[in-house]
Structure 1
Amino acid sequence: MSSYGVLPTAARGILSSCRAPLRDASMAPTLSTFQQVRGLKVKTKGKGKNAQPGKKSRGPSEYVQKNLKDMPQWALCDAMRFIRATEVGREPTLQKYELHVRLRTKRDGPVIRNMLRFPHAVQTESRICVICPPNSKAAKEALAAGAVLVGEDEVFEAVKAGKIEFDRCLAHPDSVPALNKAALGRILGPRGLMPSAKTGTVVEDVASRVEMLRGGTVYRERDAVIRLPIGQLGFSPEQLRDNLRVTLGQIRKDASGLADRVNKEIYEVVLSSTNGPGFSLNGEFSSEDSPDTSLMRGV
């Protein structure tokens, strides 16, 4: 028994009156909604009963392009002169002029993808493989056009062995079932060499496509920019101008072909090289300060 229980009745009454009364439940501390769920903040529109959850903010629907009025632009001959200065001492047939075509277009939409043949060949050293039935008419025409590897099983075995000694790969429609059965997608896919009808590398006339690839290139729009080699460093200004005109003309045709789905237009054209900086072109061939074009032939 506690000491409290043995006290006289009068003493117990006095002590009871001194005890702190129990707190009312209504006076117990309560946590606010913000204290109970820390960090939970929801933006709302309106006040009171009319408050509604706000929408998530989204980025711009089009790619943001810089203002060309605030940056210098160059004539083609002037850009070539400065680029050549940065490539002094390098092999002119290995170093390339590269073109970067910036587009004004939406972020989510179809992209430009095509194949182009230049008036003056750029990739003269391209090695092309053609997957087609061996000893067929297509195989003979592909070899005559300049393909370095032709056939089916021979190509499949070389690829599986890691001997990928080609830069481009085409396929004849008759060989597509054998290609799918060989399951080379994991090997050729990451290298961009897997033939596909979407990329125009599964064709009936493989010979003409081989000739086109040897004198041209495949290009694709990525993040509103099309990048592709446009000429060898030893090209004259006239040769580079011819390739530039054909390239921009083809890109405009590609953009017009998508006009019913998305609007695309050329915003800026930048010329650079394998190791050199980029120069924004103003559309002029030469300026008053440009050197004589006869002095810019070869390197």
Structure 2
Amino acid sequence: MSGLLALCRQCYRSALVPPSSLVLRQFTTSQILLASNRHKAPKIRVPSKKAAAAKARRKAALAAKAIDRSEFLTLADAIAVLRAVEVASPNSTLDLYIKTEMKNGVAVPKGRVNLPREAKAMSEDKILVFAEGRQAEEAKKAGAHFVGGPELIDGIINNRFQATTILCTPALIRAITPKLGRVLGPLGLMPSERRGTVTDDIAGYIQRIRGTSEWRADKTGNIHMPIAMMHFPVDDMVKNIRHFLTSVKRVTGNTKEAEDSRRTKGSGAKPVTVISKVMLSSRQGPGIHISDY
């Protein structure tokens, strides 16, 4: 008893409690997961370019099979249906839609056309010409709106010169390409020998495009064109559509002449851009697939 009195008050109380009433702390021997492993995100597998391209081809093939061929009409039947829908709106527009299959590295299809009967008033072309000396004078006389040398580059970059057509002489093309290639290239306005916009015959080119209108696909290959008015005779509608389709086929390499040149070895013919869809529509009418384009 004397030994207990020598203890402090807390130890004295602990000594008086029987061992059976003590609460023992339980310890676990299981392994503890690290927080870094518990919250680690699963690894995402990124498909290769080849696998992604194969998936896109399979998806396009399934979409092509899903199209109901019974929904396709001939050009004459499609015009008849849309004229019946728009019978109360003779001044509405007949619109033509063409879908081209764009490939990597292929220029956006664009061209010029002079329809047998214009569906709407043509907007004026703004022509800019890179030329000097005698060729510059000829360009001004031919009707070019902006004529000059490399000093026009900053005006194009800053949007002071908003041209719809840009021409250049071969002597100046190397001077303007480094600064304007990335600016005009995506817009389809960069002068090019293949398109005929790099030429010494500037005046002749301007004369050839006078009275024509330019068409251009968007970045995904879609071409939209108001092709006729509903009050036009059917023959005029068909002529406009056929004329425009011929222009698109020529640019995309879908003509018989282009096919023959591709068969000739070493001809250097450009690859064909496939036309996958042609549709006619109107303001109130449906979009109708054309079967005989």
Deviations 1:204-244 (A, max 9, x none): 14345434544253534643x43043745358134214314
Write the distance in 2 (CA, Å) between the matches of 1:177 and 1:101.
Answer: 35
Partners of 1:112 and 1:221 within 8 A in 2: no
Find 1:36's aligned residue among 30, 35, 38: 38
Q: CA deviation at 1:272?
A: 3.8
Q: Which amino acid aligns with 1:217?
A: E
The corresponding residue for 2:277 is 268
Pairwise mapping of residues 1-299 of structure 1 onto structure 2 (< 5 A)?
A: 3-7=9-13, 12=15, 14-26=17-29, 30-31=32-33, 36-37=38-39, 40-41=41-42, 58=52, 60-62=55-57, 64=60, 65-66=63-64, 67-69=66-68, 72-80=71-79, 82=82, 88-89=90-91, 98-103=95-100, 109-111=104-106, 113-118=108-113, 120=115, 124-137=122-135, 139-141=137-139, 143-144=141-142, 146-152=143-149, 164=161, 166-176=163-173, 179=176, 189=184, 192=187, 194-197=189-192, 200=195, 202-204=197-199, 205-211=201-207, 213-214=209-210, 215=212, 217-220=214-217, 222-223=219-220, 225-229=221-225, 231-233=227-229, 236-247=236-247, 249-250=249-250, 251-253=252-254, 265-272=274-281, 278-283=287-292
Alpha carbons of 1:15 and 1:265: their partners in 2 closer, same or farther (altered >3 Å)?
same
Whichever structure has more helix as a proportion of its residues is 2
Partners of 1:152 and 1:178 within 8 A in 2: no
Write the distance in 2 (CA, Å) between the matches of 1:85 and 1:154.
Answer: 55
Write the distance in 1 (CA, Å) between the matches of 2:115 and 2:162.
Answer: 25
| Secondary structure at the counterpart of residue 283 of structure 1 | coil
Partners of 1:132 and 1:175 within 8 A in 2: yes
Q: Which amino acid aligns with 1:88?
A: P
Write the distance in 2 (CA, Å) between the matches of 1:263 and 1:71.
Answer: 28
Deviations 1:123-173 (A, max 9, x none): 8544131322244236515743x5333334785687588654643222333
Q: Which amino acid aligns with 2:26?
A: R
| Secondary structure at the counterpart of residue 268 of structure 1 | strand
Q: CA deviation at 1:246?
A: 1.1
Equivalent residue pairs, number: 259
- Using the size of structure 2 for normalisation, the TM-score is 0.60
Alpha carbons of 1:74 and 1:127: their partners in 2 closer, same or farther (altered >3 Å)?
same
Unmatched 5+ stretches in structure 1? 44-52, 285-299
Partners of 1:130 and 1:172 within 8 A in 2: no
Alpha carbons of 1:55 and 1:137: their partners in 2 closer, same or farther (altered >3 Å)?
closer
Q: CA deviation at 1:193?
A: 6.9
Partners of 1:169 and 1:201 within 8 A in 2: no
Write the distance in 1 (CA, Å) between the matches of 2:286 and 2:141.
Answer: 39
Alpha carbons of 1:151 and 1:262: their partners in 2 closer, same or farther (altered >3 Å)?
closer
Amino-acid identity (%)? 13
Partners of 2:99 and 2:276 within 8 A in 1: yes
Q: CA deviation at 1:26?
A: 0.6
Q: Which amino acid aligns with 2:280?
A: L
| Secondary structure at the counterpart of residue 280 of structure 1 | strand
Unmatched 5+ stretches in structure 2? 1-6, 264-268
Of the structure 1 ranges 252-261 and 17-26, higher mean CA displacement relative to structure 2 is found in 252-261
| Secondary structure at the counterpart of residue 61 of structure 1 | helix
Q: Which amino acid aligns with 1:37?
A: H
Partners of 1:132 and 1:139 within 8 A in 2: no
Alpha carbons of 1:211 and 1:275: their partners in 2 closer, same or farther (altered >3 Å)?
farther
| Secondary structure at the counterpart of residue 101 of structure 1 | strand
- Using the size of structure 1 for normalisation, the TM-score is 0.59
